[in-house]
Amino acid sequence: MEILEKCESVIKLGPDKEVDEYAQKEMIKRVKSHLQSEKPHLSSVAFFINGELYENLLDAMVEVDEIDTIELRFIKPVLNENWDFNRPTKVIKVIKGGLGGLAFFNYDAKAIDKWAKASELIEKRAMIRAFPVNFYVPRSIATMSKYVLEDPPRPLIPDLWTLESTWEKMRELGTLPMTLRVCAYTKEERFSYDIDVIRGKLLRDFRAGRIPVTRKKMRSPEEYFYFDRIYASEDMPDLTRNIFESIFESDGMNVSDISHFFKITTDMANNNLKALVRRGLLDTQGQPPFETYMVTKEILEKKANSLP
């Protein structure tokens, strides 16, 4: 497969001693697993790196040592898809240092005709940050054999980086990003975009069609900044991570909400919620078994400020 060749070229950017046959086989397993779990997408993404068009970001990672400008253009939108938790966007432009802007459409997820005002294109300046969500860092059999009885240390702990820092850190270790989250912060709000790097697609938010958009609560840009740092750095299963994000953008949820929205058992919902409490990421109100779980600003600030 051509895509596997591109992925192999990316991991070979890392230290030679870590890219052995074992690491390459592990990469192939991860990529195939990613391709098998195809998620609904909302558009394709064209990448302009230093002014040059790349249809696949992996090609750019191999060819471009340093980036001065990045432009993400969202093309071929799937208009009949559910955009309720995504912001239809035309372009994101970024210069070195993380400053930039975006142009997005006026979409009202709570209106009867959600696209009624979509002809209006809104442009705003923004601070742009990014981090890999689903990724693979090559590690050799020699490295992994040192940790037979314990989990190996994480080779890369993402944070809310500028795009050029994200680029530099990923290339340094030969990190293969499969999903990349791009965040844009204006004075009033924050926009987030999950990009399937392997396919070059903008992913639909996992909450679309699962959680009523009326349950969504907007937070302040400061709270989003804290949340995004935590979301980037915490090593959590996808389900736990999705539950955390769902509760953060709500007025709180209980065990029954989580069980219903994610179609899991009450025990499984309870286990994931308790795991988030143990990590210091959720607060509770009320008495068991009727407690409500929520993410407060105090929790976010404390946790984010404890990160390196």
pLDDT of residue 290: 85
Name the burial class of residue 214, with classes exposed (0-12), middle (13-18) and buried (19+) by CB atoms within 10 angstroms of its CB: exposed
Residues 156 and 27 in one domain: yes
pLDDT at 62: 96
Indicate whether 147 and 287 sit together in one domain.
no
Domain match, 45 and 117 both: yes
Shared domain for 136 and 221, answered yes or no, is: no
Domain that holds residue 30: 1-209
From 179, 209, 239, give the residue that closes a domain: 209
Give yes or no: residues 59 and 181 share one domain. Answer: yes
Verify that 21 and 79 share a domain, yes or no. Answer: yes
* pLDDT value at residue 1: 64
> Do 201 and 138 reside in the same domain of the chain?
yes
Q: What is the CATH number of the domain that holds 292?
A: 1.10.10.10
Side chain identity, residue 52: E
> Which tokens is 108 given?
């009202």
Environment class of residue 155 by beta-carbon count within 10 Å: exposed (0-12), middle (13-18) or buried (19+)? Answer: middle
Report the distance separating Cα 271 and Cα 239, nearest Å: 11
Based on the fold, state whether residues 200 and 225 are members of the same structural domain.
no
Mean pLDDT by 10 residues, the chain (308 residues): 92 97 97 93 97 94 95 96 96 95 93 86 96 97 90 94 95 98 96 97 97 95 97 96 98 97 97 97 90 97 94
Last residue of a domain, one of 176, 209, 242: 209
Helix (H, G, I), strand (E, B) or coil at 91: strand
pLDDT of residue 116: 87
pLDDT at 70: 96
**Structural domains counted in the chain:** 2
Is there a single domain that holds both residue 156 and residue 259?
A: no
- Chain centroid to CA 137: 17
Domain limit, last residue, from 160, 188, 209: 209
Shared domain check, 232 and 174 = no
Judge if 151 and 291 occupy the same domain. no
On whether both 169 and 259 belong to a single domain, the answer is: no
